[in-house]
Structure 1
Amino acid sequence: MHRPCDYRALAHPAAFLAPVLERQSLSDEAYAQSHLSRTRGWFHAPAGMATPPSDPPRADDSTVNIRRSVVLRSRQTATDEQQSKSVWNASVPVNRLPPEILLEIFQVLQAITEDVHDVWMVPSSYVFWPRLSHVCRAWRDVICNSAQLWRDIHVKGDLQWVELCLSRSREAPLHIFFHSGATLPDACDILSNHRHRIKTVVVFDTAPDTVSCLTQFFQPSMPMLEEFSLDAFNTFSDATCFSDSDIFPLLPALHTLRLGYAHIDWTSNAARKLRVLHLRDWTPPDDHLLSLHEFLSALQEFQALEDLNMDFAFPFETYNADGVRDVTGPIVTLPNIRSLYFLCPSHEEPSSPDIYHLLAHLRVPVSAKLHVYSQTQDHVTSSGEGGYLDTIPQDTDCLPILKSATTAQLWKQGFDCHCGEGQLGVDLEPMGDETQRWAYTPERAVDDFCTLFAKSPLVELAVRDMRYTEESWAQLFRTFPSLSVLKVKNESPGSDDDVEDGLLAALTPTAPDQATDSDPDSDDPVPLPNMRTMQYKGEWHEDTLSDLVHCLRARAARGVKLRKLTLRMFGRDPEDADGDARHESLLHELDELVEEPMVYADIPRPQMYL
């Protein structure tokens, strides 16, 4: 016998809770009026119905007006009926919703709590349907009779839970998540009779016998298995390898493979059909390493590959048995590739790391996303090697985004550029003694970035926590004169207005009487003549605002007035009456120098300052 539904115990979704609360605070007429334009019921009239005027014309002797009046009144009646139904639907308790709507809500809840975007992260929470099934009888009926809610099975210690899910999922495709290497063998025995409907297997925790148990579990075949993820950290074997001789032939539908502390046989015929391949944290024995040429030849056969992730798991060596470095190999073209991620271990030759030679042999479509995270050894930091030009080939045939990027973001030892769906991101990290300063200076990084993307038509640039000199800013503006949007964020502790001084000095043109912007031979053109939007976030300095006024006034005098200006600043003393008056005066001047109303906000100090 189920207890009566307690409406106070129902976890109303926001979409239903808000109208209920609003209904309690408004009269019937006010509530109906507030929902006229934005509420849609589940039993409403067809969408797109025109809303009639509140005062339709009165009928007269004219036939046209009479007909128009009848039509308008008919529409008014239909609209009133639609509004009435919408108001009623909005106030319906959740337990009285149609089963189809409840099921839709539950499926959305399931998708939110079981986001496996990062499959290596063990989910901190997921929906426990038995608990929700005790809310009320309506919820229980929907939950217990909806097979699709029971297809995600998290295997921990209680195997009775596994049996319950198998029973209620009926013939729905299954997604299995093993959280315990200790219970995995027994769970595999229970699941073995349902292997024909398993689509996903994710193993978060392993034991020394996990791989052998899974191999037996997959036999004689897993015809529907499409995704397999295994973290083999506790298998105590660096040689854990998946090849044609063991698991691959048992999984004919497999297209996604993610392995941690394990690897694949790159010459496997079955592996070549993979669309997603993620490998991480694997230190291969010497007898498993390929030469760069062998690896590239094998990779070329993966023509279906869409997503390749190699996280500290490079399967090749660039030195031969005689200690001679060989970086030759075939050019690899993967027509379907859309995502590439390389996390590269530190290299003894930072001026010529393995990742550079790997990328030099790839042809990455401009629509693909490529991210490179590369480490640099501490003992070479004094030379500044391992920078952007040492890591990324300056070859537009290899990386067409180098000549196509439209937006870019720069930060300390890294950048991120986009062209539509395409992306190139680079993060560099010096390894070793943190107190030793890497000789790869911000000025050198700017120079390398400009060299790499000199052919790109950048229109938007964002710079984060960088103390560039005036010359570095000027170099950026000369290299990318088509920039129309400039965003600068400076939240690093200990910042002063020197950063803004260099930026604003580089943006400020000479006075009109000293240079003629219309003269194509002018030696002093306006920096960033197309810039129309500027955003700045950083510490408040009175000099920054006054310098910005001077900069924008000089630009406006040369005919390049700013359209939008957004300032978000922290650290201003609101108790300083004199300073506050000067502040307001400067804001007023800035507002007059911008075409659209300027946006200014005092914001709290960033957490790093506290």
Structure 2
Amino acid sequence: MYGRSSSARSSLTRCLRVADFMANKPMPEDTLPVSAASDDDRAHLRGRSRQEAQHRVSVEGQALQRRSLDLGFLHNSTITLNMLPNEIFVSIIRHAVSGEDTMAWITRTMGVCRHWRETIIRTPLLWTDIRLSGNMQFSALCLTRSSGATINWYVSEAHVRPPPLDWYSATGSLLALHHTRIKHMRIYLEATITPLVQLYWQLSTIALPVLVSMDLTAVAGLSTQWIPSYLPSLRRLSLHRLSVDVTHLPLSQLTSLDLNNVDLPSRSLASLLDVLKACTSLQRFVYEDTDDMPINELPVAADNRVSLPHIRHFCITATSAHTSSLLVHILLAKQTRVVLYPNDFHPPQDENHIPVLNTFLPRDSAYWPAMKDLTHIMVWWYARDGLTIYADHETTEFWELRPWRSLDYVNLGTDTDELSPVPALVIEHLQIDWPYPSCTAEPLRAVVEELGDFFPVSAKTFVLRGYAEEIPTETWTEP
């Protein structure tokens, strides 16, 4: 067996030597290809060894590939889309990639062609989304390619497990290095990472001179004292589940404020009114309080009213009682659009008259002058979806086209965000826990009986949906 293997190896060695010898000998004239080679190719290959011929063919093949790519690049540059000015092309790309997967979409788009790849790489504005929950090397690459442009700083995805310690130090170093470039910041901090982020980021000692908007969510254990005190450009602030220190926030310069289940001092109405009183430039306010702990109903003077003359959008999600106690202390502008999501509604145990709107909606139009001008009214009630009310003083496309006439038209609550403009008054998802067995139309009848307390009698449009056939005509004609 050994002798046979040794003989085979010797034969293979001889064959390789012969092949090497033949490869270095000039190729015979009759072995040159006829159809595949031009006269110039044949002249260059004549008298050369096979190795030399292979090398030359390989070099020329690579040159042809490069030339083919260059021609493809030139061809793509003549396509109508690619002939657009770079500013327009980049604007189209930016609109197409807006969303959570911006960088993933951009990296895929770079593979379309070399023209797109080079344009994207050379455009700093397409590399400004810095998502620190993912690959830190990619974040560093984005910071480099953004080339001094203002950036968006995101920690928005929940971690499956707490990140390693070097993540905190790396992100803290990037923050210290690029803090003057951060224009938008959206941070989601879980309870597991909050203590270490506070330690490594030292955000309270860093200036953010160009920061325009901040969206900060903390699952537990974070106060607004962690937010930098020098925020001269901040206009939009959104806080979720933070302890709010009113004295530490630049409230007077804000045009938009979202407070979502925040911990105000003593959880009192007075604290919330103090916040709004300090927001002298506010145009948009969204407040949500869905915590089980009731708000501290400390007495607030009846004449303690907060005027919001610039407000355009005012949205409250809270219990009916909390909504009522807040609204009676707010003076809204006539142009304000009011959106209310009252929850946990339990009407009084009175079979003769059960108020619904009167439990949370002030009758005095002084708090909102537009109330007396709402001449288009729609009331929608289904037991599963709750109560929805639209009211408007403008004859918008929604009221002109009357889409609700179709039996296929779905509950209004699913379409509010799609309406433009949003009606002046929106009350949605009001679930009514009726105190005694009755027909399904009772909540709708009770609301219809109250409409005259709030809206003018000269309504131009009045629409009822949901069990309306069970309401006597004299009831719905009264408003």
TM bucket, shorter chain: 0.5 to 0.7
1:284-335 per-residue CA deviation (whole Å, 9 max, x = no partner) reads 48xx225434543442222111111111169994534xxxx65635121111
TM-score scaled by length of structure 1: 0.53
1:141-161 per-residue CA deviation (whole Å, 9 max, x = no partner) reads 210111111112222220111
Deviation of 1:99 after TM superposition, in Å, equals 3.5
Deviation of 1:266 after TM superposition, in Å, equals 3.0
The corresponding residue for 1:198 is 182
Partner Cα separation in structure 1 for residue 114 and residue 259 of structure 2: 46
Deviation of 1:198 after TM superposition, in Å, equals 0.5
Tell whether the 8 Å contact from 1:381 to 1:440 is kept in structure 2 after alignment: no
> Which of 365, 370, 373 in structure 2 is aligned with 1:401?
370
Alignment map for 1:62-461 (pairs within 5 Å): 92=79, 94-95=81-82, 97-110=84-97, 113-114=98-99, 123=100, 128-180=105-157, 182=163, 183=167, 186-206=170-190, 207-209=193-195, 212-213=198-199, 216-217=202-203, 219-233=205-219, 236-237=220-221, 240-243=222-225, 246-268=226-248, 270-282=250-262, 284=263, 288-289=265-266, 291-312=268-289, 317=295, 319-320=297-298, 328-345=302-319, 353-376=321-344, 387-412=356-381, 413-420=387-394, 423-427=424-428, 429-430=430-431, 441-455=443-457, 457-461=458-462
Alignment map for 1:521-532 (pairs within 5 Å): none
1:228-273 per-residue CA deviation (whole Å, 9 max, x = no partner) reads 111212xx33xx3214xx4241323222111111142234463332
Tell whether the 8 Å contact from 2:168 to 2:201 is kept in structure 1 after alignment: no
Deviation of 1:202 after TM superposition, in Å, equals 0.4
Deviation of 1:388 after TM superposition, in Å, equals 0.6
1:535-572 per-residue CA deviation (whole Å, 9 max, x = no partner) reads xxxxxxxxxxxxxxxxxxxxxxxxxxxxxxxxxxxxxx
Deviation of 1:467 after TM superposition, in Å, equals 2.4
Partner Cα separation in structure 2 for residue 165 and residue 177 of structure 1: 13
In structure 2, relative to structure 1, the CA distance for the partners of 1:379 and 1:303 (3 Å cut) is closer
Tell whether the 8 Å contact from 1:308 to 1:340 is kept in structure 2 after alignment: yes
Partner Cα separation in structure 2 for residue 277 and residue 163 of structure 1: 31
Segment of structure 1 superposing worse, 251-260 or 295-304:
295-304
Deviation of 1:343 after TM superposition, in Å, equals 0.6
Task: Look up the equivalent residue of 1:445 and give its one-letter code.
Answer: V
Partner Cα separation in structure 1 for residue 303 and residue 204 of structure 2: 37
Tell whether the 8 Å contact from 2:103 to 2:129 is kept in structure 1 after alignment: no
In structure 2, relative to structure 1, the CA distance for the partners of 1:293 and 1:201 (3 Å cut) is closer
Partner-residue secondary structure (3-state), 2:424: strand
Partner-residue secondary structure (3-state), 1:108: helix
Task: Look up the equivalent residue of 1:332 and give its one-letter code.
Answer: V
Partner-residue secondary structure (3-state), 2:459: coil
After superposition, the CA RMSD in angstroms is 3.7
**Number of aligned positions between the proteins:** 368
Tell whether the 8 Å contact from 1:263 to 1:279 is kept in structure 2 after alignment: no
Task: Look up the equivalent residue of 1:363 and give its one-letter code.
Answer: L
Partner-residue secondary structure (3-state), 2:229: helix
Tell whether the 8 Å contact from 2:287 to 2:317 is kept in structure 1 after alignment: yes
Of structures 1 and 2, the one scoring higher in RCO (CA 8 A, sep 6+) is: 2
Q: Which has the higher helix share?
A: 2
Deviation of 1:405 after TM superposition, in Å, equals 1.4
Deviation of 1:448 after TM superposition, in Å, equals 1.1
- Calculate percent identity across the aligned residue pairs: 20
Deviation of 1:434 after TM superposition, in Å, equals 12
Partner-residue secondary structure (3-state), 1:223: coil
Task: Look up the equivalent residue of 1:155 and give its one-letter code.
Answer: L
Deviation of 1:94 after TM superposition, in Å, equals 3.8
Partner-residue secondary structure (3-state), 2:335: coil
TM-score scaled by length of structure 2: 0.66
Task: Look up the equivalent residue of 1:343 and give its one-letter code.
Answer: T
Task: Look up the equivalent residue of 1:188 and give its one-letter code.
Answer: G
Deviation of 1:186 after TM superposition, in Å, equals 2.7
Partner Cα separation in structure 1 for residue 347 and residue 463 of structure 2: 32
In structure 2, relative to structure 1, the CA distance for the partners of 1:290 and 1:132 (3 Å cut) is closer
In structure 2, relative to structure 1, the CA distance for the partners of 1:357 and 1:184 (3 Å cut) is same
Partner-residue secondary structure (3-state), 1:175: strand
Partner-residue secondary structure (3-state), 1:250: coil
Deviation of 1:227 after TM superposition, in Å, equals 0.9
Task: Look up the equivalent residue of 1:447 and give its one-letter code.
Answer: E
Partner-residue secondary structure (3-state), 1:393: coil
Partner Cα separation in structure 2 for residue 256 and residue 210 of structure 1: 26
Partner Cα separation in structure 2 for residue 160 and residue 209 of structure 1: 24
Larger radius of gyration, structure 1 or 2?
Answer: 2
Deviation of 1:452 after TM superposition, in Å, equals 1.1
Unaligned runs of 5+ in 2: 1-64, 382-386, 395-420
Alignment map for 1:498-577 (pairs within 5 Å): none
Partner Cα separation in structure 2 for residue 154 and residue 466 of structure 1: 50
Partner Cα separation in structure 2 for residue 104 and residue 220 of structure 1: 32
Partner Cα separation in structure 1 for residue 360 and residue 208 of structure 2: 42
Partner Cα separation in structure 1 for residue 465 and residue 370 of structure 2: 22
